[in-house]
Amino acid sequence: MGLLRKKIAVLDLTHGGIPIAKKLASLGNDVSGVDVYGTVDPALLGELEENYGIRCSKAPLPISEFDLLVAPVHLDPAYSMLAQAASEGKKIVSHHEIAGEILKKDQRLSGIKIVEVTGVKAKTSTASLLSDMLSRKFKVLLHTSRGLEVWEEGSPSLIHRGLSITPGSILTAVEKSLDAGIKPEFFIFEISIGGTGTADMGILTTLSPDYRIANNTSLASDAKLQLILNAKPGSTLLLNAGAEKALEAAKGIQAEVLTFKDPFFADNSLLVSSDPDFVLETENREVKASAVLEPSNTPEVSGSTLRFLSRGKEIFSASLRSGYSSSAYRTAFIAASAAALELGVETKDVVSVLEEFRGLSGRMQEKELNGVSMIDNSNSGMDILSAEKALEYALLKKKDEKKSSIILVLGEEASQVCEGLPPASVQGFIEKFGTKCGHIILVGERMRAVTAKNASYAGSLPEGLSKASELAGTGDIILSSVKCFR
């Protein structure tokens, strides 16, 4: 795709369109930016025009003016510019594709390997664990929803916080790291809903639970297949063996396809059509029956030993620490370990990372809040299924440690975080499990539509935690499950 002296319209400046527009303009193109949702500060739009020559508009522009349109995969196809372009055969490329084309032209990336991680669940934990593993041998730059970090010898240093995981943010992550004089041997990018086609290794964590995007006109799982369909020849794809749609899409592509299976995968209805390359098994020192919410075949494991098999042969075993819900990281353990070994990390370093791991903040990690035991499950990927798993874990802890009650903080800090937490889902959760909690603090304006006898409301996660701290006694558990940026 030629990216020189083209007239290009970049749609959606809210979700990663601004860095894309800036880079396209710097490459010598005539760029217009369209603020589809009308959410960008007019002062910022003025800066784009004055400093970068990018004409900005909050209203649709005539498509006859452009050689191609750049739009995110989640934009409603009925949006007038998209609909007209489709009807007239005008070229439309995704944010993912254009970010990939821009990265391919960046000579500064020569010699740096790129890993992209996408999926519904376990993206951040997979990318973070893999960064730790790779850093035992290489210098790694990690970009996730937690921030932009440089990893060396198992130790991270935060260099920037606040980027999203849209494909456009990858361009910003690259600029910030290279401008800081950091040239890693690996870039690892957590990326939403697809891949750019530049990865030396693309990792698909899960395709379920699936959800609709683009005003309910398409499935997120179809968009995530960009990781596979755009994979560059000679690259490696590491796919969840339960993602049948992904395996079908991978047939005939010019990339090596490897698969992994997680024996604790939540959706037991998924069938694995062939023997996976990598398998994770456990030998439990302490297995707690998971019947606190509903009967389940999936145990919560405390202090378990992982056994990692590659193509039927056991490669290593690792004894996990307690203090977090190890089963919440099952996909990350297998995906990160498989990727690390394929990328040249020594087995002993993989084992060391797994055995030292204590969980990620906001992802089923145990800690204390003002002397009260707390389970922190508040993060950008939190959904109602994650809330159920967290409550299940809290109830097990309550029973084992003879705690008095659970104070649940549940909701969202911003409804635009990965499509928010639907109030209807929260209402259903409350009706089903609310009586298992001593008190529920609902976070976010939309949660005021949710009703419960034992509930109060808070405007933000800090306010919700403050209220929980006031209510909780030393014998209670605070469970934090709020969808938010961390």
3-state secondary structure of 158: strand
Q: How far is CA 441 from CA 33, 415, 451, in A?
A: 41, 17, 11
Is 70 in contact with 20 (CB distance < 8 Å)? yes
Residue 385: per-residue pLDDT: 87
**Per-residue pLDDT for 150 more than 80?**
yes
**Per-residue pLDDT for 31 more than 80?**
yes
Q: What is d(CA 190, CA 146) in angstroms, rounded to the nearest whole number?
A: 10
Q: How far is CA 110 from CA 104, 105, 149, 344, in A?
A: 9, 10, 20, 19
Alpha helices of 76-212 — where are they, by DSSP H?
A: 80-88, 95-104, 123-135, 167-179
What's the chain's average pLDDT? Answer: 90
pTM of the model: 0.84
Residue 199: per-residue pLDDT: 98
**Per-residue pLDDT for 167 more than 50?**
yes
Closest C-alpha among 325, 484, 302 to residue 409: 484
Closest C-alpha among 478, 443, 461, 462 to residue 365: 478
Q: What is the DSSP string of 367-433?
A: EEETTEEEEE--BTT--HHHHHHHHHHHHHHHHHTT---EEEEEEES-TTGGG---HHHHHHHHHHH
Task: Give the model's confidence band at 460: pLDDT under 50 very low, under 70 low, under 90 confident, else very high.
Answer: very high
According to CATH, the topology of domain 106-356 is UDP-N-acetylmuramoyl-L-alanine:D-glutamate ligase (3.40.1190)
Residue 263: per-residue pLDDT: 61
What amino acid occupies position 137?
K
State the DSSP H helix or E strand holding residue 186, giving kind and residue range, or none if neither: strand 186-190
Per the rule left: phi > 0, alpha: psi between -120 and 50, beta: everything else, 181 is: left
6: DSSP letter: -
Residue 293: per-residue pLDDT: 47
How confident is the model over 423-427, as a mean pLDDT? 94
- For the stretch 333-380, pLDDT in tens is 999 999 999 999 999 999 999 999 988 888 888 899 999 999 999 988
The three state secondary structure string of 298-345 is: CCEEEEEEEEEEECCEEEEEEECCCCECHHHHHHHHHHHHHHHHHCCC
3-state secondary structure of 70: strand
Task: Give the model's confidence band at 264: pLDDT under 50 very low, under 70 low, under 90 confident, else very high.
Answer: low
Is 468 in contact with 373 (CB distance < 8 Å)? no
CATH superfamily for 365-483 is: Mur ligase, C-terminal domain (3.90.190.20)
According to CATH, the topology of domain 7-95 is Rossmann fold (3.40.50)
Q: Delimit the domains of the chain by residue range.
A: 7-95, 106-356, 365-483
Q: What is d(CA 263, CA 261) in angstroms, rounded to the nearest whole number?
A: 6
Residue 443: per-residue pLDDT: 96
Q: What is d(CA 133, CA 308) in angstroms, rounded to the nearest whole number?
A: 15
What whole-number percentage of the chain has pLDDT above 70? 91
Q: What is d(CA 281, CA 307) in angstroms, rounded to the nearest whole number?
A: 5
How confident is the model over 417-442, as a mean pLDDT? 88
Closest C-alpha among 429, 206, 222 to residue 328: 206
What amino acid occupies position 238?
L
State the DSSP H helix or E strand holding residue 212, giving kind and residue range, or none if neither: strand 212-213
| Residues 6+ positions from 254 with CB-CB distance below 8 Å | 231, 233, 234
- For the stretch 183-235, pLDDT in tens is 999 999 999 999 999 999 999 999 988 888 999 999 999 999 999 999 999 99
- Report the range of poorest mean pLDDT among 96-110, 192-206, 210-224, 316-330: 316-330
What amino acid occupies position 6?
K
Residue 286: per-residue pLDDT: 37
363: DSSP letter: B
Q: What is d(CA 137, CA 431) in angstroms, rounded to the nearest whole number?
A: 50
